[in-house]
Amino acid sequence: MSAAPTAVDARRSLVPETVLEVEGLFKHFPLPRGLVGALLGRPGRVVHAVDGVSFTLGRGEILALVGESGCGKTTTALSLMGLLPASAGSIRFNGQDVTHLSGRPDGAARATVAALDGAAYRREPSVFPSLTLKRLRRQIQMIFQDPYESLNPRATVYEAVAEPLEVHGLEPDSESRLARVCRALEDSGLKPAQAFLGRLPHELSGGQRQRVVIAGALVLEPSLIIADEPVSMLDVSIRADILNLLDDLRTRRGISILYITHDLGTAACFTDRIAVMYLGRIVEIGPTRRVLADPQHPYTRALLSVVPVPNPRLRRKRLILSGETPNPIDLPSGCRFRPRCPVAVDRCAIVDPGLTLVGEGHQAACVLVEGDRPAAT
């Protein structure tokens, strides 16, 4: 906390305000055709997990990516991390194209990395033996859903949080490494850090484990954190703590956060913008308050109507969609939400609507909102 603001300020002046720019991202998984299919020369079938996703994320901004299981939220996140190679599209991080960074260093990657944090690279080039994806991952960290499974049961809190430093060859001096681990733990709300260093995961509560996981991400001082359902396994009384912590990280360290969830309720309370995903596409995106107050896409409306409201006097008619997200192999013609849409019209079977501007910074992909409005860029 003490030294962080100056570091953030310094970086702020050097880089553009947009941290992440995703443009037309596709991730398709071809299915095995089988012997008969191959012999008959049938066309291979493909899972369209992510099918043309574009969005930007500003410095210190929190964007929620909301949708049901199987809509492509997590695949999007894994592509951003470079854990899954994108099929098409581009991912720009701090202005640099990082779509095709590989594990092996080459000239272009070297240049990318040098630009990412040039000063540090010139100061101690030996720190970056493999100047590629690995260097990118210092900047983008991920927090997973289940803190019971994402921690090694035999590693102490210190070992768990120090491991990323070791992997990236940072702070080789044990004293400074300890100091950095302690700072990450305290920033994650585990105070005093000394009391937790020697503990094993089974000695921690669920909320404390998730804080250790967050400390493990923070210790590398990333500029973007991807949090994939970080509270869905936690008790309600602890959820608030973790969400408030993420909010604080944004405020204090200027970290951008991509918050992935199926729950609009938790997304409502601390995010700046919401992107609603359905079958591999973003169907609505806009400022959180606008999306909640005036949802334009019928899918967003349905999702909102089923978020439980903690007040029995406000019980209202739920707009329950039958079935679940259809499989992303055989996509319906026209609008992909049509088969479950309560307000679908004939035109929906023909037109595959793109995102249309419906308000300031607010876009929706539905033929019913298109009207005479110009298509969004």
Partner 1 sequence: MEIDASPLLDVRHLSTHFVTDEGVFRAVEDLSFQLRRGEFLGLVGESGCGKTTAMLSVLRLLPAAGRIVAGEVRLEGEDILALEAAEMRRVRWRKMSIIFQGAMNALNPVRSVGDQIAEALVLHEMAPTYHQAGKRVAELLELVGIDAARADQYPHQYSGGMRQRAMIAMALACNPQIVIADEPTTALDVMIQAQILELLERLQGELGLAVILVTHDLSVVAEVCHNVLVMYGGVLAEYATVDAIYNEPLHPYTRLLLEAFPDLSRPDARLVSIPGQPPRLNALPAGCRFAPRCPMVIDRCRVEAPPVRQVRPGRWATCHRIDEEGV
77 backbone dihedrals φ, ψ, rounded to 5°: -60, -45
Distance CA 106, CA 118 (A): 16
Nearer to partner 1, 76 or 266 (CB): 266
- Shortest reach from residue 319's CB to partner 1, in Å: 9
Neighbours of 197 (CB within 10 A): 18
Identify the residue among 307, 349, 357, 376 touching partner 1 (CB under 8 A). 307
Residue in 243, 257, 282, 283 binding partner 1, rule: CB under 8 A = 243
Residue 169 is a binding residue for partner 1 (CB under 8 A): no
The structure tokens 């055709």 sit at 33
Q: For the chain, what's the residue count?
A: 377
Contact region with partner 1 (CB under 8 A), list: 19-27, 74-82, 171-179, 301-309: 301-309
Q: What are the beta bridge partners of residue 91?
A: 22
Residue 38 CB neighbours (<10 A): 11
- Stretch of 45-53, 77-85, 284-292, 329-337 lying at the interface with partner 1 (CB under 8 A): 284-292
Closer residue to partner 1, CB minimum distance, 6 or 311? 311
Q: Under rule CB under 8 A, which residues in 253-272 are in contact with partner 1?
A: 262-266, 268-270
CB of 324 to partner 1, least distance (A): 5
Of the listed pieces 277-285, 314-322, 328-336, 349-357, which binds partner 1 according to CB under 8 A?
314-322
100-129 footprint of partner 1 as x/- string (CB under 8 A)? ------------------------------
Q: How far is CA 365 from CA 112, 216, 296, 298, 351, in A?
A: 35, 38, 9, 10, 11
Record the tokens describing residue 20, joined without a space. 């992440």
Q: Is 84 in the site for partner 1 (CB under 8 A)?
A: no
Q: Does 311 bind partner 1 (CB under 8 A)?
A: yes
C-beta of residue 155 within 8 angstroms of C-beta of residue 149: no
Q: Between 317 and 346, how does the x/- string for binding to partner 1 read (CB under 8 A)?
A: -x-xxx-x----------------------
203 binds partner 1 (CB under 8 A): no
Residue 68 contacts partner 1 per CB under 8 A: yes
Structure tokens belonging to residue 290: 């606008």
For residues 218 to 237, the per-residue mask of contacts with partner 1, x marking binding by CB under 8 A and - elsewhere, is: --------------x--xxx
Distances (CA, A) of 170 to 59, 127, 173, 176, 221: 24, 7, 9, 10, 11
Structure-block tokens of residue 101: 């960074």
Closest CA to 25 of 100, 116, 74, 90: 90
Cβ within 8 Å of residue 25, ≥6 positions away: 50, 52, 53, 54, 76, 79, 86, 88, 89, 90, 91
The Cβ of residue 100 has, within 10 Å, a number of other Cβ atoms equal to 13
Q: Which residues bind partner 1 (CB under 8 A)?
A: 68-69, 205-206, 232, 235-241, 243-244, 262-266, 268-270, 288-289, 292, 302-304, 306-315, 318, 320-322, 324
